[in-house]
Structures are given as structure tokens and as C-alpha cells.
């Protein structure tokens, strides 16, 4: 899909959009196709090595599960949960770790898996935090990014889709903890927000 367009594969079989969805931007089918291609790259890049996938909760849980089942290399999993100071829909760049890793990542190959890079401040913070723990390598995977919003230079090694500067839900992403389970990524109707529509 293009950064501004609607996914032509949207609304396919079994995917009639949720009533609150205004527009499906990326269909479930497109996400799965892209994930297969990214998993192939990861399998190739890490051949002969062990990989530790670090998912950023909660948004990355679906992405982690779908990606994991496509990996053929030896892989372990860990998760971090962070909270960003600021409003629910706008990050301030100051990040607090709510749940830290269970595993020691020293000398390990780490792939940080994030649902969406908006300003990039959260991933930038996590990248610096993980690098300080002495891993053999750290790379970033982000399913989505908002190129118009990014405020820091980020080396995103595995990237799914660019989305326009709008608030999106689905495939792990929530609005007030809802819509994470939608298999596609889309925008919400105005009525869902009442008077509190998140800023683009
Ligand atoms: P960043 O620090 O500005 O890159 O923000 C990253 C975090 O903000 C993501 O992990 C999401 O939790 C949240 N976020 C940013 N944009 C959206 C969106 O469009 N929908 C849902 N959550 C978002």
C-alpha cells in the first residue's frame, strides 16, 4: 500500500471491518505477506546464529507470534513493557520501563520488535538501553512507521509499512485498550473518539 492510499486487498474474505473502523489501511493478507518476506530475510541474516526476539508490550504481541512461527533459526523470546510520559496517544520521549527483560542479553544477538514507530523516541530509548547491556548485536524491526512524524534517526533493519500521519488501530495497536485483536490496521470513525480524537 502507499503511505496515503487504502490497501486494495482490504476487506477480503473473512475480513469485513469492525463497525468502528473508518478505513482499512493495511489488510491482514498484506500484513501476512510482508511478514513472510521479512521472516525470510531474518532467517537468512541470522543463519547459523541464535536470535533473541525482544517484543515491546503490549502492541507487539501479535506481531511476535506471527513472526515467530515463520522463523526457522533457533530463537528465544523475551518482552519489555514501557510507559511513555505524556498523553495516551502522544509520546513525550521520556520512557519508563514497567517490565524489564527476564534474560541477560550480554553477547546475544537481539532483535527488538515494535508495533509502530511514531516519533521514534520510544525505540530510540530502548535501543540505547539494550546496547548498554553488552549484546553481540541489536537490530530493530517495526511493522509500521509514520515517516512524517519521526524525530530521531533510527536504523530500522526490518520494516513493514509506512502509514500516513493518522492514529491507527489493529494488529496489536489499541485505542483505550480496544481493537488490538483486529487482523488488519485501520483508522477509527470520529464518533469513537467523541471530542478526544488523537492528533495526527
Ligand atoms: P513513539 O515513541 O512516538 O515512536 O511512539 C511509539 C508508541 O506510541 C507505540 O509503541 C504505540 O504504543 C504508540 N503509538 C504511536 N502511534 C500510534 C498509533 O497510531 N496507534 C496506536 N498507538 C500508537
Distance 163 CA to ligand 1 centre (A): 12
Res 92: pLDDT:
63
Would you give the distance in Å from CA 127 to the centre of its chain? 14
Q: Compute and round to an integer the Cα radius of gyration of the chain.
A: 17
Res 190: pLDDT:
93
Distance 105 CA to ligand 1 centre (A): 25
Q: How does DSSP classify residue 102?
A: S
Q: Which of 7, 66, 115, 118 is an active site residue? A: 118
Catalytic residue flag (residue 45) = no
E-only strand ranges, 58-155: 75-87, 90-99, 109-117, 137-145
Res 111: pLDDT:
98
Res 16: pLDDT:
72
Q: For residue 132, how many other CB atoms are within 10 A of its CB?
A: 8
What is the full per-residue pLDDT of the chain (200 aa) written as tens digits?
A: 444 445 545 444 445 789 999 999 999 999 999 999 999 999 999 999 999 999 999 999 999 999 999 999 999 999 999 987 665 556 666 789 999 999 999 999 999 999 999 999 999 999 999 999 999 999 999 999 999 988 999 999 999 999 999 999 999 999 999 999 999 999 999 999 987 777 65
Check if 54 has its Cβ closer than 6 Å to any atom of ligand 1.
no
Residue to mutate (ligand 1; options 118, 121, 123; most atoms within 8 A of CB): 118
E-only strand ranges, 100-145: 109-117, 137-145
Strand partners, 53: 77, 111
Res 155: pLDDT:
94
| 50, 75 Cβ separation under 8 angstroms | yes
Q: What is the pTM of this model?
A: 0.90
Res 86: pLDDT:
61
Check if 186 has its Cβ closer than 6 Å to any atom of ligand 1.
no
How far is the first Cα of the chain from the last one, in angstroms, to the nearest whole number?
Answer: 19
Phi, psi for residue 85 in degrees, rounded to 5: -70, 135
Q: Rounded to an integer, what distance in angstroms lies between the CA atom of residue 163 and that of residue 25?
A: 8
Res 4: pLDDT:
42
Amino acid at each position: 500500500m502507499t503511505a496515503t492510499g487504502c490497501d486494495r486487498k482490504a476487506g477480503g474474505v473473512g475480513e469485513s471491518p469492525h463497525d468502528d473502523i473508518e478505513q482499512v489501511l493495511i489488510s491482514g493478507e498484506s500484513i501476512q505477506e510482508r511478514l513472510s518476506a521479512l521472516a525470510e530475510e531474518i532467517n537468512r541474516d541470522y543463519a547459523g546464529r541464535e536470535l533473541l526476539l525482544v517484543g515491546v508490550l503490549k502492541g507487539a504481541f501479535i506481531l511476535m507470534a506471527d513472526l515467530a512461527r515463520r522463523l526457522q533459526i533457533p530463537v528465544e523470546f523475551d518482552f519489555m513493557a514501557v510507559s511513555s510520559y505524556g498523553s495516551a496517544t502522544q509520546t513525550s520521549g521520556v520512557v519508563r520501563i514497567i517490565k524489564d527483560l527476564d534474560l541477560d542479553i550480554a553477547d546475544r544477538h537481539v532483535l527488538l520488535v515494535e508495533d509502530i514507530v511514531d516519533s521514534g523516541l520510544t525505540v530510540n530509548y530502548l535501543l540505547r538501553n539494550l546496547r548498554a547491556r553488552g549484546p553481540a548485536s541489536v537490530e530493530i524491526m517495526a511493522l509500521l512507521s509514520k515517516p512524517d512524524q519521526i524525530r530521531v534517526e533510527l536504523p530500522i533493519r526490518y520494516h513493514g509499512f509506512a502509514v500516513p500521519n493518522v492514529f491507527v488501530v489493529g494488529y496489536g495497536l489499541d485505542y483505550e485498550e480496544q481493537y488490538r485483536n483486529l487482523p488488519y490496521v485501520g483508522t477509527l470513525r470520529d464518533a469513537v473518539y467523541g471530542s478526544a480524537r488523537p492528533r495526527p
